[in-house]
Amino acid sequence: MPRLLARCALLAGLCISSVQAAEPFVVQDIRVDGLQRISAGTVFSYMPIKVGDSVDDRQVADAIRALFKTGFFKDVRLQREGGELVVQVEERPAITSIKIEGNQDIKSEDLTKALKNIGLAEGRVFNRQILDKVEQELRRQYYSRGKYALKIDSDVTPLSRNRVAVTINISEGRAAKIRQINIVGNKVFKDKDLVGQFELSTPNLLSFYTKDDQYSKQKLSADMERLRSYYMDRGYIKFEIDSTQVSITPDKKDIYVTINVKEGEVYTLEEVKLEGNLVVNPDELLPLMEVGPGEVFSRKAATETSKAISDRLGDDGYIFANVNMVPEIDDAKKTVKISFYVDPGKQVYARRINFKGNNRTRDEVLRREMRQMEAGLASSQKIERSKTRLERLGYFQDVNVETPAVPGTADQIDINYSVTEKPSGNLMAGIGFSQTQGFIFNASITQDNIFGSGKRVSASFNNSSISRIYQFGYLNPYFTMDGVSLGYDMMYRETNAYQANVSRYSTNSASASANIGIPLNEYDRFRFNAEIESVQVNTSDYTSTEIFDYLNANGRKYVLFPMSVGWSHDTLNRALLPTSGGGHQLSALATVPGSDLKYYKLSYKVQYYFPLSKAFTLGLQGEADYGGGYGKTGELPFFEHFYAGGVLNSVRGYQDNSLGPRDSTDLPYGGSSKVVGTAELYFPIPFVEDSKNLRLGLFMDAGNVFKDMPVLGDLRYSAGLTGKWLSPFGAIKVSIGQPLNAASGDKTQAFQFQFGAGF
């Protein structure tokens, strides 16, 4: 029989064994036996032994190790038959299928992707060690979600042709709940004040979707940092967390967390200094300092001071500046001296600004939004503002920026913006429904970025029980390179006011207008609009006395020349469904001499959004309007009245347009002044990961319409739940509102919605 040279098993408990050592020999040929799926060429590529090599026991052992490291084989033997080296292998089975059963908390697609990254996937070689590693990873994933009663059973079924089917059975069990969080050692602050800073919590009304009552090691670590920051921001610079104990009940259903702390004493600031290379005038940096002598030490204030100084240096081209806060603690006096060491680095210049991904949009459309200029000092603020302006164009799905250093230089960078274009044209024919307008039929064609020029052209038709509208518009946002915009609009409208839940009359109007917008600075804009309008009022036998009186005094047909001016201030991060920033709008409109009616309208709107945390946002909005007549026109025309109530005009919970004065037929007549305000708290939507087009929140509205000057004591209030969705089929706005102080005669409506119109 052939003489056995060596036998080896390596990795995970396998061992090498060989027969008595043999004399070295020269390999004249190599043969591989036992292959089923793996080719001989693959084996030869991993073999360190080649034909013509002289082989001894050491080379044999090295070859066996090399083949085992491939993970393809569970047994490898090397034998000699004369001058031929015979490699006998036993392949590991291939995975023909992987089935995961019983998982609910983690999606099968996510688990399959994670298993593939570990090495367990269909078509790959099966390795029991990898399966054990998979089970450990699954336990880690579920334990991080508080499911400690987890059970995992893996079943490997052998199949023909050296294949196996893997089935992973998961019994998730119920997530363990945090029953108690104890803080031991605190004397200054109460337990509820400290625990209130935590993300983890005992079960509450919102836990069913916030999952804040499920223990997580990562969340506890973050809460420990919040606790440390709470004390450090209040002067307890020596605060320590001695230990943290997490215990689970034998049935693995309840968890108790105990945190042992040492508070220490309050330290105050004795001295604050600016040191280092002060390339910027210290008089400009001192106002940025949020800490001062005599104040209680605050790590948050010190960190914000460092950042503010770094940002200020970045405005002058020192975008890689470092500002380090170094405390000098005096334990005897319980004081701290803080030095802010400034290392500005070198001033950096922007060599080139490059754009990538704008296949349709012209380069000049992007470049005119740049606030950072080529060959100028690089400014982190200007670079980021330029990115924001590109995002606000609405032409791109994503905008990213990179600032690589120019090779061979220490003071130059390139600024590379990469964009992902989205369709900027919209050809739409649709149907919507509103409780006020009924069915809404519309057809429109809009191109916000026609031919990649950044210009906007639109034509639309809208038909509902309230109105029929034909409109054409054109806007050039950069009529001049300074950002002066120029636009034109033409419109024909037929309106049935009674269908809008107001007085019985209808109007036919046609108008043409031109508007100019002038940027005053980065965030402020002035606009001017000139319009010519023809209006005809139609009545019925049921029209109110007030309308007949007005028409008898002023006629039914009017040619009007409204002129308006406005100012806006806009720092919103997004045009639709913003989450931060704010804005103001102030406008004044008046018909000029030569008009058949002479009236004016003043309006002020304000809105602000405050991100309270990563999950919650507070939105505040307000509006005040006032109008009246002048000259021979004694009052604001009734068809220009203001209205309130409902999902569109606020206040929700009251019927659309129903608030304020009523006419002789007891229908809403509107008024010459209006005051409304809204506070909304937006919160995460359960089971929705990306909510950029969705918004859910609690609201409180206040407002009313008045015949003349507002009377704040007559405001109506409501509260409830609101939802907004920018769906592919049109915008949807829903509210469930409860009036809080409805008066006798007020028309209420708890559930209100609108579909198919913008908001």
Contacts of 128 (CB under 8 A, 6+ apart): 156
Distances (CA, A) of 428 to 49, 310, 670, 694, 729: 70, 49, 34, 21, 9
Residue 496 bridge partners (DSSP): 506
Check whether residue 308 and residue 357 sit in a common domain. Answer: no
Neighbours of 663 (CB within 10 A): 18
Q: Are 685 and 691 spatial neighbours (Cβ–Cβ below 8 Å)?
A: yes
How many angstroms separate the CA atoms of 41 and 24, rounded? 25
Residue 209 bridge partners (DSSP): none
How many angstroms separate the CA atoms of 179 and 197, rounded? 17
Check whether residue 602 and residue 645 sit in a common domain. Answer: yes
Spacing of C-alpha 498 from chain mean position: 41
Q: Compute φ and ψ for 741, nearest 5 degrees.
A: -145, 45
Check whether residue 206 and residue 306 sit in a common domain. Answer: no
Check whether residue 437 and residue 517 sit in a common domain. Answer: yes
Residue stretches of the chain with pLDDT short of 70: 1-22, 209, 423-448, 463-465, 647-649, 686-692, 726-731, 754-759
Please work out, in degrees rounded to the nearest 5, the angle formed at the alpha carbon of residue 503 by the alpha carbons of 501 and 509.
95
Residue 488 bridge partners (DSSP): 474, 514
Residue 170 bridge partners (DSSP): 152
Q: Are 152 and 170 spatial neighbours (Cβ–Cβ below 8 Å)?
A: yes
Check whether residue 731 and residue 630 sit in a common domain. Answer: yes
Contacts of 327 (CB under 8 A, 6+ apart): 237, 297, 302, 336, 337, 338
How many angstroms separate the CA atoms of 324 and 337, rounded? 14
How many angstroms separate the CA atoms of 631 and 145, rounded? 72
How many angstroms separate the CA atoms of 507 and 533, rounded? 12
pLDDT at residue 423, as a whole number: 65
Q: Compute φ and ψ for 2, nearest 5 degrees.
A: -60, 145
In angstroms and rounded to an integer, the radius of gyration of the C-alpha atoms of the chain is: 37
The alpha-helical segments, DSSP class H, found in 199-346 are: 207-210, 217-232, 282-285, 299-315
Check whether residue 142 and residue 157 sit in a common domain. Answer: yes
Contacts of 193 (CB under 8 A, 6+ apart): none
How many angstroms separate the CA atoms of 183 and 677, rounded? 42
Which amino acid, 690?
Answer: D
Q: Compute φ and ψ for 664, nearest 5 degrees.
A: -70, -15
pLDDT at residue 363, as a whole number: 87
Check whether residue 501 and residue 468 sit in a common domain. Answer: yes
CA within 13 Å, CB half, 704: 20
pLDDT at residue 729, as a whole number: 55
How many angstroms separate the CA atoms of 646 and 643, rounded? 10
Check whether residue 415 and residue 453 sit in a common domain. Answer: no
Q: Which of 367, 387, 421 is the last residue of a domain?
A: 421
Check whether residue 617 and residue 736 sit in a common domain. Answer: yes
Please work out, in degrees rounded to the nearest 5, the angle formed at the alpha carbon of residue 748 by the alpha carbons of 742 and 750.
115
pLDDT at residue 566, as a whole number: 97
How many angstroms separate the CA atoms of 182 and 194, rounded? 10
The count of residues in the chain is 759
The burial class, CB within 10 Å (0-12 / 13-18 / 19+), for 672 is buried
Q: Give me the numbers of helices (H) and strands (E) for the chain, helices first please.
A: 13, 36
Q: Are 703 and 659 spatial neighbours (Cβ–Cβ below 8 Å)?
A: yes
Q: Are 76 and 88 spatial neighbours (Cβ–Cβ below 8 Å)?
A: yes
Task: State the sign of the Cα–Cα–Cα–Cα dihedral 548, 554, 559, 564.
Answer: negative
pLDDT tens, position by position, 281-313: 888 888 888 888 989 999 999 999 999 999 889
CATH of the domain at 552: 2.40.160.50
How many angstroms separate the CA atoms of 636 and 672, rounded? 6
How many angstroms separate the CA atoms of 686 and 53, rounded? 67
Contacts of 248 (CB under 8 A, 6+ apart): 148, 176, 254, 255, 256
Range of the domain at 291: 269-343
Check whether residue 77 and residue 106 sit in a common domain. Answer: no
Q: Are 270 and 330 spatial neighbours (Cβ–Cβ below 8 Å)?
A: yes
**Tokens representing residue 307 in the block:** 């950042």
CATH of the domain at 403: 3.10.20.310
Q: How many domains is the chain built from?
A: 6
Question: What one-character DSSP code corresponds to residue 757?
Answer: S
Check whether residue 617 and residue 711 sit in a common domain. Answer: yes
Q: Which of 421, 439, 468 is the last residue of a domain?
A: 421
Q: Which of 421, 445, 474 is the last residue of a domain?
A: 421
Check whether residue 101 and residue 185 sit in a common domain. Answer: no
* Nearest one of 183, 288, 184, 189 to 233, comparing CA atoms: 189
